[in-house]
Structure 1
Amino acid sequence: MGAIYVSNLGKAYKQYPTRWSRLAEWLTPGHKPRHTLKWVLQDISFTVNSGEAVGIVGINGAGKSTLLKMITGTTQPTSGSVHITGRVAALLELGMGFHPDFTGRQNAFMAGQLLGYSAEEITALMHEIEAFADIGDYIDQPVRVYSSGMQVRLAFAVATAHRPDILIIDEALSVGDAAFQRKCFQRIETYRAAGTTLLFVSHSIETVKTLCDSALFIKDGRLANFGVAKLVCDEYEKYLFGDQRKHSKARQDAAIPTLETSKFDPSLVASCEMSYGNGKADIESCWLADAAGRRINVVEAGTPFRWCYRVKFNEDIDKPIFAMMLKTREGVALYGVDSTQLDMEISPGRVGDNVEVQFALTNTLAPGVYYLNCGVRIHTNNGVEFLSRRIDSAILRVTAGPQSTVAAGLIEMGAAMSLSRTV
């Protein structure tokens, strides 16, 4: 079975002050080097055991793709080592390894041989490759006339024509259309169930949480965290959107409405809560409430509820945006919305203002446990800036009701069934 062992891996590129410095270094071996080393990855160590699925997250330029290239052997490391057991199939940069002047079929044969297949094996698999790629007559056209989506279709079909021990994917699936993406994820799920090890790079945090058991967070060329996918992704989100400055985390629990004791379970404590922001506002308290405004955290399936939080502004903010998200225990987002999506006219926040935010929600959730986020942010020329954000700040338990029909899944759709017999 497939496993990956990475030890003290590093990659550096030579940088020369001028074009002539490189030539001078070549012509004067043994003299003082005329280059400096630019390290893009340093001291990366981790193990992916057989059958595990590991995601890799990090901003553009963090070194994720370079790491995958060293693992697959397309780039040699400057330091450290990689040891792999089992056959590897990799889908790296879009079109990597395809020759634009050869047809899709010819490229499939070449790519298959690079994966270790014989010509006879590729011939036997070609029908499956054509069917999965589903690009029709384009299979016999030069790849240069392919769209990016068609290239991904063919590349994925070749890489996964036979179940590999290790499957490595670098963001390529973000190019294909939605139907093909689902087709790819179905194959990945099937292979994972059969024991394939997965190494997956993606900017989609939700996809990493859904597919992967663990995750790596690469920051500035170094391993910032390696652990449970949800926790690592939460840290990555904090890095993306949070300001590292300390700010007040005062809580005004006295301002929270009275408990409805029959619908409140004190054991549902959000002990894994994370808070961050730039300090221009603070979310001082947050709570779940019923339609009458009483504090709850247990609700019957089908009964609407409210997600509420109180924001204190520490600076003047012209266009604050209030947001919330509901997630599964595993951290997969089920529903997120903000004041812009709801076409709310929001007044500017002024220093010292206290604003109570309420999201009234219908409840189509299946019985289970769910987590809630809340946040206040602004949009700037540089992107999203969170003034204050609280992740996993409350737990909601949904219990079965008299009208519950769900046997499996996350939502209640209230099915009605009918039968008719035909002669």
Structure 2
Amino acid sequence: MLVLKGVGKAFREYPSQILRFLTWMGVRVRNVNEHWVLRNVSFRLGHGEAVGIVGQNGAGKSTLLKLITGTLRQTTGDIVVNGRIAAILELGMGFNADLTGRQNAIHTAGLMGFSQADIARVLPDIEAFAEIGEYFDEPVRTYSSGMQMRVAFGVATAFRPEVLIVDEALSVGDAYFQHKSMARIREFRRQGTTLIIVSHDRTAVQALCDRAILLDKGEQRMDGDPHTVMDYYNAMIAEKENSAIQSVQLESGKVQTISGSGEAVIDSIGLFNAADEKVEFINVGETVDLRVRVMVRQDLPRLVLGYLIKDRLGQDVFGTNTHHTAQVLENVRAGESYEFSIRFDANMGAGAYSVSTALVSTDTHLVNNYEWRDLALVFTVMNVDRTYFVGATWVPPHISIKQP
């Protein structure tokens, strides 16, 4: 279990070292400059729970992790940790470049508090997990960043911790090792390990975490469902001086995030079948028409519509925009409206899906974000008459069988 109550961190600058020493003795000193990097962060994590920490660079994520692991001390608030913490906060975990991977593994595990007997017992498992072959007995200075991460992750997870903290460092690994690492993380979670993961990878946060916490300029902006938090974070990145972010609770209980400067907005959106009927339920593989009506409020030199289909976990299924399809609208005028018709075959597995829309000027919402609307439309795909299958995509096979 992990509990944080009103945690804050300030870095202080003293006019002289003597004044710094006096503060250690409990003397109040004036003319001290304080720079707060975290303020009033509070949350609780239970056994086996997973939380994603997200935020832009400088939001205070790394400082928060250092406070939890004890490498920094908080200025205000309390942190309570029940159990051992294992953390990968930087590439290589401070490995000595002149030592071999094996020597670094032994040294690091010793610093983590394990006996020589315990280390000798798990060292073959660390070597096997890292899968770097003879390089395990070569100096770390000869390693690639991915090889360093393989050894570091193997050491940090050689013994199941009560709390596992993983920073963005895992992103340097290759796809195979990322899958292998995620499999071990999931197994730890099933055994009761509490997970804290820092990542800008929306898919990783939504797939691994029960909750997400958004930090912004050292303050805790949100704590909630990963899908909702990541949508708000995405909107926050695109926020400009003349734009706003709005959160609306829908009848379904989900929270819709709308952001943008408002020069163009979605007026209506609907999904229609071949009979031109507006539908919420469609069959696997059915041809449907997504119709989006856009109202232009101000003259714009360029207008691009983008859309993104997500599954029930908030993971991307398919998305594109009219920049990529070479259908950009040029020099649109205030008061005009446009209806976009997007026809596609719903070759998706049975389940609930949502559509997000974006009105922008280029291929990204990071330049001019007129409107970003999450959960603009929700629909359900059902398997009415297709052969039974599992998975997220309908890829009907042609299977032939013959005897040689």
* Shorter-chain TM-score above 0.5: yes
Q: Which residue of 2 aligns with 1:22?
A: 16
**Counterpart of 1:223 in 2: which secondary structure?**
strand
Distance 2:107 2:219 in 1: 35
Deviation by residue 1:60-105 (Cα, 9 ceiling, x = unmatched)? 1000111011101111111222111122211112223212222211
Is 1:332 the counterpart of 2:326? The answer is no
Question: What does residue 264 of structure 1 align with?
Answer: none
SS of corresponding position for 2:93: coil
Superposition pairs for residues 194-343 of structure 1, below 5 Å?
194-243=191-240, 272-291=255-274, 293-343=276-326
1:413 aligns with 2:402: no
Distance change in 2, residues 1:340/1:122 (3 Å): farther
| Alpha carbons 1:243, 1:276 under 8 Å: kept | no
Q: Show the counterpart of 2:93.
A: 96
The aligned residue for residue 377 of structure 1 is: 360
Instruction: Identify the range of structure 1 (186-195 vs 37-46) with the bigger mean alpha-carbon deviation.
Output: 186-195
Residue 360 of structure 1 is matched in structure 2 by: 343
Residue number in structure 1 paired with 2:37: 40
Kindly indicate whether residue 1 of structure 2 is the aligned counterpart of residue 6 of structure 1.
no
Mapped contact 1:88–1:115 kept (Cα < 8 A): no
Contact 2:303 2:328 in 1 (8 A): no
Secondary structure at 2:124 match in 1: helix
Distance (Å, rounded) in 2 between the aligned partners of 1:222 and 1:268: 30
Cα gap change, 1:8/1:307 in structure 2, threshold over 3 Å: closer, same or farther? same
**Inter-CA distance 220–246: structure 2 relative to 1 (3 Å threshold):** closer
Matched, 1:389 2:372: yes
Residues 82/347 of structure 1: CA separation in 2 closer, same or farther (3 Å cut): same
Residue type at the aligned position of 1:7: K
Structure 1 unaligned segments of length 5 or more: list them: 250-266
Give the total of aligned pairs.
398
CA contact (8 A) 2:304 2:363 kept: no
CA contact (8 A) 1:309 1:374 kept: no
Q: Report percent identity of matched pairs.
A: 36
**Paired amino acid for 1:14:** R
Deviations 1:330-351 (A, max 9, x none): 3222222222333435434332
d(CA) in 1 for partners of 2:9, 2:28: 23
Q: Structure 2 regions of 5+ residues with no counterpart? A: none
Q: Is the Cα contact below 8 Å between 2:323 and 2:362 reproduced in 1?
A: no
TM-score under structure 1 normalisation?
0.86
Correspondence 1:26-105 to 2 at 5 A: 26=20, 32-105=29-102
The two structures, once aligned, show a CA RMSD in angstroms of: 2.7
Question: Cα 1:349–1:404, aligned 2, differ >3 Å: closer, same or farther?
Answer: farther
C-alpha distance 346-177 of structure 1, shift in aligned 2 (>3 A): farther
- Give the TM-score, by structure 2 length: 0.90
- Partner Cα separation in structure 2 for residue 410 and residue 268 of structure 1: 26
Contact persistence 1:301–1:404 (CA under 8 A):
no
